[in-house]
Copies of this chain bind each other. A is one copy, B any other.
Amino acid sequence: MKKYYDYLPKEEIKRRLNKLRQRMKKKGWEAVLVVQNVDLLYFSGTMQKALLFVPVEGEEILMVKRDIERAKGESALKEVIPLNSWREVPTVLNDLYGSIPKRIGIELDVLPAREYLRLQGIFSGVEIVDSSPLIMDVRKIKSPYEIDLMKRAGEIGQLVYAEVPKVLKEGMREIELAGILEEVAMRHGHQSYLRMRAFNFEAFSWHVLSGCAGGMLSYIDAPMGGIGLSPAFPVGASLKPIRAHEPILIDFGVCYCGYQVDETRIFCLGKLPKRFKDALLATRRIEAEVVSLAAAGISCQKLFQKGWELARKLGYEKYFMGPPNHKTRFIGHGIGLEIDEYPFIAQGHDYPLEVGMTFALEPKMVFPAEGAVGVENTFMVGEKGVEKLTLAPEELIEI
């Protein structure tokens, strides 16, 4: 059958597994068992239903429940074997490695408790530790291969934002515009299904918030949530009709081959009132300030503080990153296969930016019951400062 996409190169997988093993060695861990679909993709190249066993020494093995043929085709790993049940894993490991590790790392931030308890039963006497901090530490530095996919996601974003002035009409519902943009993005290869790691959080593309919707908070730790379609989805685009002279905030996440970028632009039907215009300019100044400082070696917390300092200086303390008492804890977040990765540009995150990190920076201003404005771009940290991956024009577009 014709191939419609590329598989993850073997060298890419090897480098990733090497990095994981370096961290395992430091911790004194004998093995990691990768269980989550995104982590499986990252370390094996396939997202088929499987478990990946990575011993600190020796060959890793991918045990596949379904579909084994597809997993063999997609993964460049040498050892890809069928597995009927998790119960078989200890026997498989014993046969292959001669023993079962005393301690195994598993992603406890995503593995459901029921499965955890089941694995405890299967691996009786084995200490199960949380491997997610190690895995997220490996994943936080992107390779040129990964950056390239994020750039292609950024290109789809440009097409999405270019569509807005062509289709936006007064009275159109937010969800209607969202659907049109989703169609444009999918036509160009957008995966549509975004991914977030945290429990109970759901990532999606179509944050289209007009006027008062931009002032609505919701369960997400974001400056604004939107009205949403119902209490069953209380975020993002809604049935609200878009009106003239209100800020239309479009925060459209694009995903290409699993890799995501975040980008926000502001539109308006007719003239946008001056206070929103000024607030938007303020967010762009804050972005410019943070970007001018952002480079390998600088503390993420420091960038957060610098952004806040300027917001205060410009007189936007009340509006920046949400209403008083509801401010987000960050002004930017790492992004890649998931939209809640390291680094976080946030208070308490006093670690340095490193070359290869990618993050979305999103200075935003919220006026409760009135609207929200702001700018968001995804950046990669290069040898000299940061490079923007989301290239739609940043200027306010009045239609």
Q: Are A5 and B217 in contact (CB under 8 A)?
A: no
Q: How large is the interface on A (under 10, 10 to 19, 20 to 34, 35 or more residues)?
A: 35 or more
Interface string of A299-339 (1 = CB under 8 A from B): 00000000000000000000000000010000000000100
By a CB distance below 8 angstroms, the chain B residues around A36 are 200
Q: Are A199 and B115 in contact (CB under 8 A)?
A: yes
Q: How far is the CA of A231 from the CA of B50 in the complex (A)?
A: 14
Residues in A84-128 with C-beta less than 8 Å from chain B: 106, 108-117
* Selected contact of A192 from candidates B111, B182, B337, CB within 8 Å: B182
Q: How far is the CA of A89 from the CA of B41 in the complex (A)?
A: 37
* A183 located at the interface, meaning its Cβ lies under 8 Å from any Cβ of chain B in the complex: yes
Q: How far is the CB of A191 from chain B (nearest CB, A)?
A: 5
Q: Are B117 and A112 in contact (CB under 8 A)?
A: no
Q: How far is the CA of A118 from the CA of B256 in the complex (A)?
A: 35
* Selected contact of A193 from candidates B115, B200, B204, CB within 8 Å: B204
* Selected contact of A217 from candidates B47, B69, B212, CB within 8 Å: B69
Interface string of A61-88 (1 = CB under 8 A from B): 0000111011000100000000000000
Q: Are B5 and A239 in contact (CB under 8 A)?
A: yes
* Selected contact of A233 from candidates B115, B193, B233, CB within 8 Å: B193
Q: How far is the CB of A123 from chain B (nearest CB, A)?
A: 13
Which of A173-181, A281-289, A373-381 is near enough to bind chain B?
Answer: A173-181
Q: How far is the CB of A99 from chain B (nearest CB, A)?
A: 25
Given A4-B239, A50-B219, A65-B219, 10 new contacts (CB under 8 A) = A35-B200, A37-B200, A37-B219, A47-B219, A67-B326, A116-B116, A175-B189, A176-B187, A182-B192, A189-B229
Which residues from chain A sit less than 8 Å from chain B, CB to CB? 1-2, 4-8, 35-37, 41, 45-50, 65-67, 69-70, 74, 106, 108-117, 130, 132, 173, 175-176, 178-180, 182-187, 189, 191-193, 199-200, 202, 204, 206, 212, 216-221, 225, 227, 229-234, 237-240, 257-259, 326, 337, 369
